[in-house]
A and B are shown apart, each in its own frame.
Chain A
Amino acid sequence: MSRLITRRRFLIGSTLTASALGLSGCDALVESDRTKSVLKIAEGFSMKTQRFLLGDNALAREFTEADLSPVFRANGTSMPDNPQYADWMNSQFSTWKLEVGGLVEKPTQFSLAQLKAMPARTQITRHDCVEGWSAIGKWTGVPLGALLQTVALKPEARYIVFHCADEYEKTLDGTGWYYESVDLVDAFHPQTILAHSMNGRDLEVAHGAPLRLRVERQLGYKQAKYLTRIEAVADLGQLYGGNGGFWEDRGYEWYAGI
């Protein structure tokens, strides 16, 4: 018996040592570009499988007023640090305008009042942060698809890019501005809205006033806040880091459905 236990201890001990060595060697493996490109295969796989199984128009679950989070956690920037935004705030966003351009036939600017006068959709949905937490809120806003129809996309437009008044990371070359993008499937999804109200009130600054994106089948970092400009583009490679979003340029998946 005692010999057996000694042998067992030895084996467990050596296994732990081996795995510890393996794990410290892991970081080198983790950082290699080749590893990263292999792992990236999974994102395409997840997106294609979900799109195939989902169809384009399956709806995210909508909840009731009783399900609302008592406190909806604000994440990312909660007060954009930029003088123009301060001016907009001082005017209660009456001087703010949303510019819609890029590959569209009729580039247009919309005031907040104009957006609020458009037919709106209200939905109570769950916001899922990539970190793991969730909060349920009620959003009211203009369906993005309807807005895009008024400006008429050119046939070569493939992606819709959202520019924000929020420089999330201060950099010398200006690559720290928050931005996001979706493809046309998500842009024309019925639950994809430009929300100007949350829980029945005007959107608060911490939640992206005056306008934020809701794209309900994806994670929180896709829900860009403080929108200033919407741009239709043919590809994402020309913008900032080329991956289609602030967090995407920092290693996160562009397809954030998982």
Chain B
Amino acid sequence: MATIDAGMETGRTLIYRHSLLVRLSHWVNVLCLTVLLFSGLQIFNAHPSLYWGQYGADNDPSFIAMEGVQDGDQAKGLTHVGPFTFDTTGFLGVSNVDGEPTARGFPAWLTIPSYQDLATGRRWHFFFAWLFVINGFAYLAYGFLSPHFRRDLVPAGKELTPAHLGHEVVNHARLRFPKGPEARHYNTLQKLTYLAVIFLLLPLMIGTGLTMSPGFDAMAPWLLDLFGGRQSARTIHFLTAFSLVAFVIVHVAMVILSGVFNNLRSMITGYYAIEPEEKQ
């Protein structure tokens, strides 16, 4: 790990934190996941209901559904989650398109393209899905062949003790971020979160996405057993997508709170500044 002294008087040290491949695959991922989310919502809008099992269509019970209903002379957007119904007019079920309340699952500003066009949404989704998969394989190959996963992401045994984890949770809640030598590495909560995203959520997106393909099902029917059917897979795909959105929100908040400039520089140039520990 290269080290540059950034100034004797401040005691700040620049370390080379992110390799070129990690930085590149990170930003390609940002692009892919952004397009995949918004084109995915376009696809969802073609049939904004989710089911569990092998089949599911209009006459079968859904457990998440959005619809537009006519209430007097007003269009009302309703979102059903299990036995509960929420009035989500303006956002889900019914939202404005060119100033006119229109029945659609997610609003125009969250879909690619903004207007209803399933064919185009699919073209975008599958193109960026391929890019995402190729990028993911390159990253995984690098992660396993280089020391990246072993050195940066796998927590040491002592990091997993309840006392240590509790300590980190408290520090996170107080927005106290590590300084000095400890800041050279990801903390344990970071490691566990990144591992969950890389090895659980993202593979789950790909696995459930492929299960929705009738062609891929013929090759790998075990996917249907794994996820409990094509409609279950569609539901898991949707829920996992929003788990990733939740991850991104927390991730971006942490990037901002723990030093937005330093973090962005390290993910662009690779160099990350370590602040000295406060003198006792």
Contact = CB atoms under 8 A, between A and B. Distances in A.
A59 B218 CA distance: 5
Contacts of B215: 50, 54, 217-218, 257-258
Given A11-B256, A23-B109, A60-B214, A252 B56 contact: no
B54 A63 contact: yes
Contact of A61 (B109, B218, B234, B253): B218
Contacts of B49: 133
Interface string A34-66: 001011111101100010011000111101000
B234 A58 contact: no
B257 A134 contact: no
A133 to B, nearest CB: 4
A111 interface: no
B119 A252 contact: yes
B127 A26 contact: no
B150 to A, nearest CB: 31
B219 A53 contact: yes
A67 interface: yes
Interface in B119-144: 119-120, 122-124, 126-127, 129-130
A39 B123 contact: yes
Contacts of B231: 133-134
B112 A23 contact: yes
Contacts, number: 143
B54 A130 contact: no
B112 A30 contact: yes
A31 B46 CA distance: 19
A235 interface: no
B236 to A, nearest CB: 14
B60 A20 contact: no
Contacts of A54: 215, 218-219
A71 interface: yes
A176 to B, nearest CB: 17
A41 B59 CA distance: 36
Chain B interface size, under 10 / 10 to 19 / 20 to 34 / 35 or more: 35 or more
A70 interface: yes
A65 B59 CA distance: 18
B92 interface: no
A27 B217 contact: no
B270 interface: no
B58 A73 contact: yes
A46 B113 CA distance: 22
Nearest to A71: B59
Interface string A70-86: 11010000000000000
Interface in B210-254: 212-219, 221, 224, 230-231, 234, 253
Contact of B130 (A30, A45, A59, A126): A45
A258 B123 contact: no
B126 A258 contact: yes
A69 B219 contact: no
Contact of A42 (B54, B57, B118, B126): B126
Given A20-B109, A133-B57, A4 B257 contact: yes
A162 B82 CA distance: 42
Contact of B127 (A7, A39, A130): A39
Nearest to A133: B57
A197 to B, nearest CB: 19
B248 to A, nearest CB: 11
B44 interface: yes
A130 B119 CA distance: 9
Contact of B119 (A24, A42, A250): A250
A219 B47 CA distance: 15
B126 A46 contact: yes
A135 B257 contact: no
A224 to B, nearest CB: 16
A29 to B, nearest CB: 9
A205 to B, nearest CB: 19
A131 B46 contact: yes
B98 to A, nearest CB: 12
A186 to B, nearest CB: 10
Nearest to B255: A11
B235 to A, nearest CB: 11
Contact of B213 (A8, A42, A45, A257): A257
Q: Which 6 A-B pairs have the closest CB atoms?
A: A257-B215, A251-B119, A133-B57, A71-B59, A132-B47, A42-B127
Given A132-B234, A252-B119, A257-B214, 6 more contacts: A24-B114, A26-B112, A30-B120, A50-B215, A69-B59, A132-B47
